Every structure is written in C-alpha cells, then in structure tokens.
Amino acid sequence: MAITGIKGFNDILPNEVEKWQHIENTARRVFGLYGFSEIRIPILEKTELFARSIGDATDIVEKEMYSFTDKGDNRVTMRPEGTAGVIRSFIEHKLHAQDQVAKLYYMGPMFRYERPQKGRYRQFHQIGAELTGVTDPMADAQVLTMLCHFFAELGLTEPSLQINSLGCPECRPAYRQKLKDFLRSRLDSLCDDCRRRYETNPLRALDCKSTGCKEATADAPSVLDSLCAGCAEHFVKTQQYLKETGTAYEINPRMVRGLDYYTRTTFELVTGLLGAQSAVAAGGRYDSLIEELGGPALPGIGFAMGVERVVLLLAEQEFRKRPDIFIAALGEPARKEAYRLMCELQRLDVSVEMDYEGKSLKSQMRRADKFRSRFTLIIGEDELGRGNAVLKNMDEGVQEEIPIGAQEIAGRVKYPAR
C-alpha cells in the first residue's frame, strides 16, 4: 500500500500552482507599491506567544493549535496565524529602532486543527501585512486601500469590504457589560459555544452562525453606539479617507473577529461566491498588542487573507502557463536544429516545448495543442534546406516562413506584430 498524505494537508500541483504564483506575485508587486517589505518568520514558535497574543479564550488557542513538547522539553506550536510571529520578530530585532513605522508582509503556511472542508484545511496558507507605529486613521485607510487594490489587480470584483470598530480598553468594557446584560435573559437561546463563552468572550455571539444566536442577538446593542469620543472620531476619519480615494465599504457592526487583540478598526473582505457569506481576508488594528508582547507602546494594524479562498475565487480564470512556442520538426536533421534552437531561445527568455521523441508531425501537433503554445514553429526538410522554418501565431491563425535565427524568432514571439 502506498503512503498517502495527511488529511487536511494538501499538495499544490502543476496547473494549480500557477494560480498561487500569480496571487503571490500580485501581492509582492502591489504591496511593494505601498512600501511594504517581506518578512520571513519561522513556522514553529513558543506556545506562550500565541496564548498571550491571540488570547486564551479563543477557539484557536483552546482547540485548534498544533502544539507539542519538543525533545528539549519546550512547549512549541506550529503557527496558527502570522501576526504574532511578525510582532515577536519586530520586537526581538528592534525594528522600531530603525523606524517605528514598519510595513511588513508575509506569506506561507499556517496550521490549525479544524474540520477540513472546501477551502479550509489544516495546513492552509495566508498572505498578510502589518503596519506599525501609526495612530492616525490614515494607516487604517492605507492598509484597506492596499488590500482592495490587490483584489482589483487580480481582476476580482468580489470580495467586498466591511468595516467595524471594536473600541478600545477605555470603551469596550462598558460595551461588553451592556451586551452581557442584554444576553443574560437570552442565554437559553444561545448555542453551546456562545453560552460557554458568555463570560470570557460574549461578543462572539454577534457573529455566530447558529440560528438561535442570530435570532437572540437580532436587536442587540451596537458596539458603534458605545464608542468613546476618540474611537468614534477614529472611525469617522477612517471612513473619510476611504471615501476620498474611492475605496468602497459597508459598515457591519456585528463583525467581532475571533482574536482578542483587536482594537478600534476591524474589517473583513467578504464574498457570497464560496457558499455561505464568508471572509476571504480579515484584520484590524491592534494598539496594545506590541506592548503586551514586551515591545514598545506602538500601535499596529494588519490583515491576513486565506490564499486557498482567493484561489477558489480565481477558479473560473485560466492560469495555466502557456509556452511561448512549440517547435515541431520533421526528420533527423530538423530535429537536431530544433533542439539547438530550443536551447538558444530558452536562454533568450522564451519558454519553449518540443517533442523529445521524434514522433510523427501529427502527434507533435497534438502535443502543441495540448500545451496551447502561443506560437508553433514547424521545421520541415524543404524549409530547412532554405535555412527557414514556418512560424504560426496560434491565436491569430496567421503563419509565415522566416529564417531560422533565435534572435529573430525571440523578437517575433515577444513582440508579435498586430
């Protein structure tokens, strides 16, 4: 019996991987325009880091982490998200000493022990970004605009942006109490999870998917009515910046996010295209996290997107890479010439395929079709005698006999005449 992979841990195979590369390249390019640099952090961190940052009473820390004791008796965890590690690294390497405004992005696998379902796996991938050191809502707007810009660059009209404010340590406790008072008489209608979290994390009932919780919280007090003056002003200014640059959004006062460290602005990019309304990217401001993890008192804001979900959104688009040119050759001398030409073109940055096994022209052309090459170059015996070959533009359906020369062919393939 062959050994199979582990449930919830997927291979990303050729034909699918081009979509991933396209998403990653687009992120690198767009985030670069906003001055963000990549940071690469380890997969394994001390368990304590996640317990302290994400929060003991969250689903992630309570139930979903891949934690174990290593051979040195250290309690370690495979990262379930990226922000904690980025901030840990930011503090450890004193990046704030160079510039307290750090703009960092990361991409890579994350690990959570969840029930695998479409678009949700135990090893899943995130692309995320963090901006530290700016209290002004311009930072919130910049991060949101960059995220929307990224999705627009992918040619996606979904997902759409929803924003909320969760207040700050000054005003959130009062709201929490108000919500607890409201929920107290409705505890019997709440689901088991929400009843259990009533003391530790009552806000979660607001975004719970269970029908009972939805009904019980339908007329719950809105967090936006409880914001202190500072938080209210921050929320208004964030929206002004978004409006001024044409970044569309909706306000969703029931969005609470599952992590403890968020303050003020929180946001999700949601879509209805992947079944039930669901988030493709999400994030928020975390003005006390850096200090709580032992760093300076600097604010921060960031987001993470689920790459698997972005891939699903792109599912209808064709991302299979097409070779620039397929070379078909008839007869042994032409085959040798084709091979020489292929290597030369590849060195000139042209992607080339040919049939390595000297099959019939018909079978070579079938292979060219399969690759969907943009051009086909046919080297027949007659043409070769004249030092020529036939170049066919497969998209336009036009062909011409041209001299065999790598530079000449590379030029025609890279800059096809219209």
**CB of residue 233 vs Zn ion: minimum separation in angstroms?**
10
Tokens 């901006």 -> residue: 131
Task: Indicate if the alpha-carbon torsion angle 49, 53, 54, 56 is positive or negative.
Answer: positive
Asked if residue 393 binds Zn ion (CB under 5 A), the reply is no
Among 168, 345, 368, 410, binds Zn ion (CB under 5 A): 168
**CB of residue 6 vs Zn ion: minimum separation in angstroms?**
30
Asked if residue 231 binds Zn ion (CB under 5 A), the reply is yes
Strand order across the 250-251 sheet: 37-38, 103-111, 123-132, 300-306, 278-285, 263-271, 160-165, 250-251
Q: Which residues lie across from 305 on neighbouring strands?
A: 127, 281
Asked if residue 228 binds Zn ion (CB under 5 A), the reply is yes
Integer Cα distance of 222 and 410 in angstroms: 62
Span interacting with Zn ion, options 84-92, 96-104, 227-235, 366-374, rule CB under 5 A: 227-235
Using DSSP's 3-state secondary structure scheme, residue 192 falls into helix
Asked if residue 170 binds Zn ion (CB under 5 A), the reply is yes
**CB of residue 226 vs Zn ion: minimum separation in angstroms?**
9
How remote is the C-alpha of 195 from its chain's centroid? Answer: 33
Closest CB to Zn ion among residues 205, 342: 205
The token pair at 15 is: 């034909």
Residue 124 has, within 13 A of its CA and on its CB side, a CA count of 28
Among 17, 76, 191, 402, binds Zn ion (CB under 5 A): 191
Asked if residue 194 binds Zn ion (CB under 5 A), the reply is yes
Asked if residue 233 binds Zn ion (CB under 5 A), the reply is no
Phi, psi dihedral angles at 343 (to 5 degrees): -65, -40
Residue 325: Cβ-neighbour burial (10 angstroms; 0-12, 13-18, 19+): buried
Closest CB to Zn ion among residues 11, 219: 219
Binding-site size, Zn ion (CB under 5 A) = 11
Among 86, 143, 183, 213, binds Zn ion (CB under 5 A): 213
Q: Using an 8 Å Cβ cutoff, are 216 and 205 in contact? A: yes
The DSSP call for residue 223 is G
Which residue, among 177, 205, 202, has the nearest Cα to 189 in the 3D structure? 205
Closest CB to Zn ion among residues 229, 248: 229
**CB of residue 255 vs Zn ion: minimum separation in angstroms?**
15
Asked if residue 137 binds Zn ion (CB under 5 A), the reply is no
Closest CB to Zn ion among residues 181, 401: 181
Asked if residue 302 binds Zn ion (CB under 5 A), the reply is no
Which positions touch Zn ion (CB under 5 A)? Answer: 167-168, 170-171, 191, 194, 208, 210, 213, 228, 231
